[in-house]
Amino acid sequence: MKLHFFNTLTREKEEFIPIDSKEVRIYSCGPTVYYFAHIGNLRAYLFMDNLRRVLEYNGYKLKHVMNITDVGHLVSDADEGEDKMLKAAKRENKDPFQIAEFYMNAFLKDIDKLNIQRPEIIARATEHIDIMEEYVKKIIENGYTYQSEDTIYFDTSKLDKYGVLSNRNIEEQKAGARVEFDENKKNISDFALWIKAPENHIMKWDSFFGKCYPGWHLECSAMGYKYLGDHFDIHTGGIDHIPIHHENEIAQSKGFSGKIPANYWMHVDFLTVDGGKMSKSLNNLYTLSDLKEKGYDPLVYRMFNFGSNYRNKINFTWEAMNAAKVALARLKEGYKKHNEGIEDVEDSIINEYEEKFHEAINDDLNMPVAMSVVWDVIKNPIKSKKFAKLLLKFDTVLGLEIDKENEKEEIPDEIKELLEKRKVARENKDWNLSDTLRDEIKEKGYIVKDSKDGMQVEKL
RNA sequence: GGCGCUAUAGCCAAGUGGUAAGGCACGAGUCUGCAAAACUCUGAUCCCCGGUUCAAAUCCGGGUGGCGCCUCCA
């Protein structure tokens, strides 16, 4: 079945044809590890995972690289930006390497919890300084640079065109510039490749240009080149990467090899919260731990993301989060019923569903439509193991672990005693006492559900 | 100042020319001692104005609103 992706480079949905018919090579821009990832960050990696799983569903093997940015990228003291790594180090009274180590591990734990498959290669910037240096040298050799006293810049005017991804044009930018630019730059879109570190800079490496650290776009180009070559299939990232970071990656690659590094560029839009961007000042910046505290499993957040297309913004609300929680529980319930089913269905029906699902995911990862097919299967009144098997196949893409029962939390003895009392009361048909006990259990944070098999409790 | 995205039921959202997928919530019902859970049923003519067309949420023009980016934040 044909596979189509929206390509930012052409602004069109295109058929996906890999360079190598068996193995798809992908590069994904990963996190800067200076703090815990929030759920907006994590959406990007859910998208990345979604892409992986859809490609695998289509029978492709993957060679997928994701970077971990564990080095700060302050261009110079004159710049107004903050070096996030250094800022975090100061805040926590650690050195930047410790910060990177800690938050990288936290990030990896988060993506594991979300059932995000780890890319085949996770590349840390600080472990690839040598290849970055080589990369810069080649760009210099090819004549695409100039230098000031302490910085080597990429000269974007040397390119036939800068701004192929975002339709940007250097002159237009000058006209509307709101920001003071580095006076050493010849063109407004030029950027730093290699920078001499100030005395007190902790992260710096010996190089042909003295003690330096890399410019902030360099790592992706260099590491992508190292593992995937100068021409690979897909490059992914957040929508915010389009105008600067990915333009500059393309510029660097053109300076290095003359090629745009990837054929397909895919970008995931932001998650908004209550209609706007998340921010600390609005107190709506959530992490997975925050969700957990409110009673939402990481996979519920995963489920929530399937409600919209990756190319559109998705608006986070607690109401929608709850919708995902209930829906996921019902999905599991529905799977279980099919799995316990003894009826038979014709293969043609199974195939029809499978085809619809496959079509949806192959249409630029249209998960909302794919989910509607899942619900069709779930709600089919015929209960058959064939349906259960089909759902498991779908779950290789969904990654919702629909066949796993929710973990039963340990019930405290106190609650167990109350339940026992209530059981006796119910046997005696003492409904008043039974209801009182139920209220009491509820006050202690547990919901009682009576079923044919007896009482069950669930944490609120 | 520039670039881009977007406006569909209470919420999250599919749908890009032929009279609106799906999930959640609400309401009704089945079940239950009563609840809860589960299951079934139920809801919108698609921001406004104008145009093209036999036919538009879907194309074009003009409004209005929301959001993002132009400093390394996915």
pLDDT at position A350 over 60:
yes
Distance CA A14, CA A223 (A): 27
pLDDT at A79: 40
Nucleotide B33's nearest residue (CA vs C1') is A431
**pLDDT tens-digit series, residues A211-260:** 999 988 999 999 999 999 999 999 999 988 888 889 999 999 999 999 99
Average pLDDT, chain A: 88
Amino acid whose CA is nearest the C1' of B2: A176
* Predicted interface score ipTM higher than 0.90: yes
Closest CA to A184 of A215, A213, A141, A155: A155
Mean pLDDT of A2-14: 89
A68-107 pLDDT, tens per residue?
Answer: 998 875 543 334 445 777 777 777 888 888 888 999 999 9
Our measurement of CA A297 to C1' B72, in angstroms, reads: 32
From CA A457, how far away is CA A460, in angstroms rounded? 9
d(CA A457, CA A446): 6
Span A173-200, average pLDDT:
72
pTM, entire model: 0.92
Average pLDDT estimate for A350-357: 95
Judged by average pLDDT, the poorest of A149-153, A190-194, A276-280, A406-410 is A406-410
The number of C-alpha atoms within 13 Å of A168 and in the hemisphere containing its C-beta is 20
Nucleotides of B under 7 A from a protein CB: 1-6, 10-15, 21-25, 32-40, 66-74
B/e letters for A315-345, b = 16+ CB within 10 Å, e = fewer, are ebeeeebeebbebbeebbebbeebbebeeeb
Predicted confidence band of residue A408 (pLDDT cuts 50, 70, 90): low
How far in angstroms lies nucleotide B16's C1' from the CA of residue A237? Answer: 26
From the CA of A11, how many Å to the C1' of B49? 30
- Asked if the Cβ of residue A386 lies within 7 A of any atom of strand B, the reply is no
Strands (E), A94-196: 121-124, 145-147, 151-154, 191-196
Lowest mean pLDDT among A152-156, A169-173, A411-415, A442-446: A169-173
Average pLDDT over every residue of A276-294: 83
Asked whether strand B has any atom less than 7 Å from the CB of A368, the reply is yes
**CA A167 to CA A344: how far, in whole Å?**
55
What pLDDT does residue A183 have? 74
Cβ of residue A435 lies below 7 Å from strand B: yes
Residue pair A235/A27 in contact by the 8 Å Cβ criterion:
yes
Distance CA A269, CA A271 (A): 7
Question: Rounded to the nearest 10 degrees, how much is the dihedral formed by the CA atoms of A74, A77, A81, A84?
Answer: 50
Judge whether residue A166 contacts strand B, using its CB and a 7 Å cut-off: yes
pLDDT of residue A19: 97
Using alpha carbons, select from A201, A218, A207 the residue that is nearest to residue A95.
A201
A314 touches strand B (CB under 7 A): yes
Distance CA A174, CA A367 (A): 40
What is the tens place of the pLDDT at every residue in A97-142?
Answer: 888 899 999 999 999 999 999 999 999 999 999 999 999 999 999 9
